Structure 1
Amino acid sequence: MEKVLEVIDLHVSFKTYGGEVKAVRGVTFDLYKGETLAIVGESGCGKSVTSQSIMRLIPNPPGRITNGSILFKGKDLTKLKETQMRSIRGADISMIFQDPMTALNPTITIGEQLVEGILQHKSISRQEAKKVAFEMLDLVGIPNPHERFKHHPHQFSGGMRQRIVIAMALVCKPEVLIADEPTTALDVTIQAQILDLFKDIQKKTGVSIILITHDLGVVAQVADRIAVMYAGKIVEAGSRREIFYQPQHPYTKGLLNSVPRLDLEGAELVPIAGTPPDLFSPPAGCPFTARCSYAMEVCDRAYPFKTHLSQDHHVDCWLQDERAMNRLTSVK
């Protein structure tokens, strides 16, 4: 498969009065053409910072990319000037932000907002831009697009506003779409419609999607591959089937165990005890050690090596070491 995006050893920090927050600490992943990669993890793990770094939207100061590369079409986005990034944002890589109401300008019609993005990146007339906007509104399921084109954001429901934000992100036919918690503010019925819309659009356009979420229910429906993130690091990654049916990292297992199970009578939620580590001073070893029931002495001292379990499936955990596996077997 063709790679469209490569993130290599990405580090992002924020300088604050209390010190330097190391929000992203060596994140590496690839995105292939036409696939959906989900990055999951609890709040504060670095998911959104990673996505905003790809778009170069981290405000500097206080934030900055301290190390790593983000390769798109052979270009390292971390080395580009702001004027060069403006030509890429929206045209080649687009982003859907968490809250559709704050992502839209309440004083301008949605038609003007759509046309503005098209004229920014395409050398076409305003009339042609309007035609493209009508087609995109129709694609995302906005009824009567010619009339709705003239309406302001407050005249739409939450689900419709989310569809408009998706239309704005896709109107210039980007190769990569980053969706940051696109269903968080929506009810379950509308969530299902938006997820179906993502699958339909991907089938029609071939766009590659990075889905940022903490909702494993969303991931189960749309993701091809999943990267599990904790304390600024990707601790496990693999195909959807591998992560859901063969999880290896204790944190991944904890996330799956904390999901409500409606198919099992009397099933109880099993929360992950403890709190994430302080990223002002990240631990030298595995960041999940303090919350892990399988923790060993080595876990606190050194970060584990990456273990490849298959072509797509890898995990950073000392439990994969042969000595640890022998120990667990002997205990049983």
Structure 2
Amino acid sequence: MENMLEVKNLKVSFDTHNGEVQAVRGVNFNLKKGETLAIVGESGSGKSVTTKALMRLLPKPHGYIKEGEILFEGMDLVKQSNKQMQKLRGKDISMIFQDPMTSLNPTMKVGNQIMESLIKHQKMSRGQAKKRAIELLHLVQIPNPELRVNQFPHQFSGGMRQRVVIAIALACNPKVLIADEPTTALDVTIQAEILDLMKDIQKEMDTSIIFITHDLGVVANVADRVAVMYAGKIVEIGSVDDVFYNPKHPYTWGLLGSMPTLDSEEAELFAIPGTPPDLLNPPEGDAFSSRNQFALEIDFKEEPPMFQVSETHFAATWLLHEYAPNIEPPASVKKRMRGIASTASGPKGDEQ
């Protein structure tokens, strides 16, 4: 299957009064046609910065791509001018942002907001664009689209506004869709509906999706592959089965173990101790070492390479070295892993 996107050694920094913050520190991944790749991790791990770099939407002049390549159908986006990127954004690569209320212009009718990209990128007349806008509102399952196309964002519920944002992102049939925590601002019932909608649309349009989230229950139901980020790096990447049933990095163990499950009996949730490192001065060795109860001496001295676990599964931990001790996740973490995995394999919506 062909790669729609290839990211090679991507490094993103921000200049601040205190110095250079190394927000993304050498990220590598690819995205295949029709695939959903989920990027997960704690707040501050570099998920959103990575995807904003893909769109070249970093805040200037303080945010910048320091190094690396972003290959979209073989074209390096890092080397494209702002004018060239404007032609790509919305047409070939679109983004769904976290909060639909701040993503929509409150002074414009939703139909006009959908029509903008159709007129700009597809060269449609206003009549053609309005007809297509109504079709898109119908596609994202908004009732009475002929009426709704003339309404303003405040006349929609939160879930309906997010559907409008999805319609805008899909207007020009993009090849890559980036969804930055698109359900976080919604209640759990609406979350399930939006996730099902995105899966249905992907099947219909064969779009490649990068899905950013901190919710592993969501990941298990929408993704084909998962990339786990920590301190600006991908520390584990593999299929959903790889990450849920055979996780190798202690940070992934911590994320899985800290997720509540419906059959959890313990009153107290597992939590990863400590806090992420300061990326003004990244630590030597494995950035997770100070929070890792299984850390080896070498973790504090040398950064681990990305070890290959299987054809589809890779993890950057010294525990995979041939001379490392054989350490398994704690029993409490394994129990929650089984619970989350079994929930993920249930009927649609069960995770909610």
TM-score by length of 1: 0.97
Which string of whole-angstrom CA distances, capped at 9 and with x for unpartnered residues, describes residues 59-117 of structure 1?
22101000000000111000000000000000000000111000000000001111111
- For residue 187 of structure 1, what is the aligned residue in structure 2? 187
- For residue 93 of structure 1, what is the aligned residue in structure 2? 93
Q: Contact conserved, 1:4 with 1:73, CA < 8 A, in 2?
A: yes
d(CA) in 1 for partners of 2:226 and 2:302? 25
Q: Contact conserved, 1:94 with 1:177, CA < 8 A, in 2?
A: yes
Alignment of 1:50 with 2:57, yes or no, is no
- For residue 80 of structure 1, what is the aligned residue in structure 2? 80
1:123-142 to 2 correspondences below 5 Å: 123-142=123-142
Question: Which secondary structure does the structure 1 equivalent of 2:276 belong to?
Answer: coil
Deviation at 1:23, TM superposition (A): 0.1
Q: Contact conserved, 1:236 with 1:249, CA < 8 A, in 2?
A: yes
Question: Which secondary structure does the structure 1 equivalent of 2:191 belong to?
Answer: helix
Deviation at 1:308, TM superposition (A): 0.7
d(CA) in 1 for partners of 2:192 and 2:257? 22
Q: Contact conserved, 1:24 with 1:49, CA < 8 A, in 2?
A: yes
Deviation at 1:267, TM superposition (A): 6.2
- For residue 218 of structure 1, what is the aligned residue in structure 2? 218
Q: Which amino acid aligns with 1:290?
A: S
d(CA) in 2 for partners of 1:48 and 1:179? 10
Deviation at 1:266, TM superposition (A): 3.3
- For residue 233 of structure 2, what is the aligned residue in structure 1? 233
- For residue 178 of structure 2, what is the aligned residue in structure 1? 178
- For residue 325 of structure 2, what is the aligned residue in structure 1? 325
d(CA) in 2 for partners of 1:110 and 1:124? 17
Q: Could you tell me which runs of 5 or more consecutive residues in structure 1 were left unpaired when the two chains were aligned.
A: none
Deviation at 1:177, TM superposition (A): 0.2
Deviation at 1:269, TM superposition (A): 1.1
1:1-332 to 2 correspondences below 5 Å: 1-266=1-266, 268-325=268-325
- Percent identity over the alignment is 62
Q: Could you tell me which runs of 5 or more consecutive residues in structure 2 were left unpaired when the two chains were aligned.
A: 329-352
Q: Contact conserved, 1:91 with 1:173, CA < 8 A, in 2?
A: yes
Which string of whole-angstrom CA distances, capped at 9 and with x for unpartnered residues, describes residues 8-46 of structure 1?
000000000011100000000000000100000000000
d(CA) in 1 for partners of 2:98 and 2:272? 25
Which string of whole-angstrom CA distances, capped at 9 and with x for unpartnered residues, describes residues 290-320 of structure 1?
0000111110111001111112100000010
Deviation at 1:250, TM superposition (A): 0.2
Q: Contact conserved, 1:8 with 1:28, CA < 8 A, in 2?
A: yes
Which string of whole-angstrom CA distances, capped at 9 and with x for unpartnered residues, describes residues 113-148 of structure 1?
111111110122111111111111100001111100
d(CA) in 1 for partners of 2:123 and 2:149? 21
d(CA) in 2 for partners of 1:264 and 1:283? 35
Question: Which secondary structure does the structure 2 equivalent of 1:325 belong to?
Answer: coil
RMSD (Å), alpha carbons: 1.1
Deviation at 1:268, TM superposition (A): 3.7
Question: Which secondary structure does the structure 2 equivalent of 1:133 belong to?
Answer: helix
d(CA) in 1 for partners of 2:117 and 2:151? 17
Deviation at 1:325, TM superposition (A): 2.8
d(CA) in 2 for partners of 1:197 and 1:268? 34
Q: Which amino acid aligns with 2:119?
A: L
Q: Which amino acid aligns with 1:273?
A: P
- For residue 341 of structure 2, what is the aligned residue in structure 1? none
Between the two proteins, the alignment pairs up a number of residues equal to 328
Question: Which secondary structure does the structure 2 equivalent of 1:226 belong to?
Answer: strand
Question: Which secondary structure does the structure 2 equivalent of 1:212 belong to?
Answer: strand
d(CA) in 1 for partners of 2:72 and 2:318? 33
Q: Contact conserved, 1:261 with 1:267, CA < 8 A, in 2?
A: no
Q: Contact conserved, 1:40 with 1:214, CA < 8 A, in 2?
A: yes
Q: Which amino acid aligns with 2:78?
A: T
Question: Which secondary structure does the structure 2 equivalent of 1:310 belong to?
Answer: coil
Question: Which secondary structure does the structure 1 equivalent of 2:13 belong to?
Answer: strand
Which string of whole-angstrom CA distances, capped at 9 and with x for unpartnered residues, describes residues 274-298 of structure 1?
0101100101211000000011111
Question: Which secondary structure does the structure 2 equivalent of 1:323 belong to?
Answer: coil
